[in-house]
A and B are shown apart, each in its own frame.
Chain A
Amino acid sequence: MEAVLFFFAALGALGGAVGVVALRNPFYGVLALIVHLFSLAVLFLLLSAAFVAAAQVVVYAGAVMVLYVFVTAYVGGDTESAWEPIPGQRFLAPLMGAAIFVELSIAVLGSSLVALGTHGPDVNPGFGDPAGIGRLLLERFLLAFEASSILLLLAAVGAVVLAGRARTEGAGKGAASGSSEHSSEAPAERSEDPLAAPSHAGGTA
């Protein structure tokens, strides 16, 4: 039963990954990644990591993928051109991927870890449940927990600064403070010189 589940989940994960690489439309790529993430959640459950599996579904397949879907819909799913800047890139890249896989396989097979061939020790039913993970996270790994919270805050602020824009063109201080995003709203003001945009925006304010 466990082997059957593993092979189905592994097939789903691999299929999703190959779909992301092979599908021309980015929107279908996002959908394939959702399949990949759900299959990985099943694998995590098989490895008795219940909390990680739940976080995978909620954080990845829930939140991150919604972000991807919205950005793909906003940017537009135009297919990329067939122009190849490096000749033979389509043949060299799979060769490179195969080389990485062979290298990793040699590293795994050549390691003297005896436990690799086993299922691992028998663990109690509470292995990987939210209580155990939470206790570890809040006691032993408190520093990592706090550092990741600061990282998340910084990323949220950074995304707002990067993608945000002023509401109105003449927003007073906002336009004069030199963020060049709003000057790109008017197509005519799109200039090659990055220094020209903020000074122009300051001039209109």
Chain B
Amino acid sequence: MNTEWYIVLSSLLFAVGAMGILIRRSPVVILLCLEIMLNAGNLSLVAFSRMVGNQQGQIFAIVVMVVAACEVVVGLGLIVAIFRRKLPLDVDELRELRG
């Protein structure tokens, strides 16, 4: 398969993830859409790494994976903290940064 196919698929996935972030209002689903966007970036990194014939792009992908794991942990911790305070889990109602 040509590299172009992977890049087009990656941009399609990125667009779907961005659309999800714009549409959905639940913080959990927004984090899921963020994962889709990060994975689209990963896919293009690995595809370009294969295109160049160099393994260093895969290191980038692994570091992106680590950053995504950190983001998930902190984001889900925030969601649990929000839920504990019985605040609504809706990004439109959480517009004020108040306890």
Contacts of A14 in B (CB 8 A): 9, 12-13, 16
The CA-CA distance from A185 to B18 in the complex, in Å, is 36
* Proximity bits, B50-75, A CB within 8 Å = 1, else 0: 11110110110111011111111110
- Asked whether A46 is an interface residue with its Cβ less than 8 Å from the other chain, the reply is yes
Q: Tell me the residues in window 68-90 of chain A with beta carbons closer than 8 Å to chain B beta carbons.
A: 68, 71-72, 74-75, 78, 80-81, 85, 89-90
Contacts of A141 in B (CB 8 A): 56, 59
The CA-CA distance from A193 to B33 in the complex, in Å, is 33
Majority DSSP secondary structure for residues of A touching B: helix
Whether B26 lies near A26 (C-beta < 8 A) is: yes
Q: How many residues of B contact A (CB 8 A)?
A: 73
Name the contact of B92 in the complex, choosing from A85, A100, A162 (C-beta under 8 A). Answer: A85
* Proximity bits, A148-166, B CB within 8 Å = 1, else 0: 1001101110111011010
- Asked whether B94 is an interface residue with its Cβ less than 8 Å from the other chain, the reply is no
The CA-CA distance from A190 to B87 in the complex, in Å, is 10
Contacts of A75 in B (CB 8 A): 28, 79-80, 83, 89
Contacts of A117 in B (CB 8 A): 2-4
The CA-CA distance from A74 to B81 in the complex, in Å, is 12
* A contact residues vs B (CB 8 Å cutoff): 2-3, 6, 10, 13-14, 17-18, 20-21, 26, 29-30, 33, 36-37, 40, 43-44, 46-49, 51-52, 55-56, 59-60, 63-64, 67-68, 71-72, 74-75, 78, 80-81, 85, 89-90, 92-94, 96-98, 100-101, 104-105, 108, 115-121, 123, 127-128, 132-133, 136-137, 140-141, 144, 148, 151-152, 154-156, 158-160, 162-163, 165, 180-181, 184-185, 187, 190, 192-194, 197
Please list 15 pairs of residues, one from A and one from B, whose beta carbons are closer than 8 Å in the complex, sorted by A's number. A20-B20, A20-B36, A21-B16, A26-B28, A43-B43, A55-B62, A71-B79, A80-B25, A85-B92, A119-B3, A127-B53, A132-B55, A144-B59, A156-B73, A184-B85
Contacts beyond the supplied A71-B79, A101-B12, A163-B84: 7 A-B pairs with Cβ under 8 Å: A33-B32, A64-B72, A97-B15, A118-B3, A127-B55, A128-B58, A136-B55
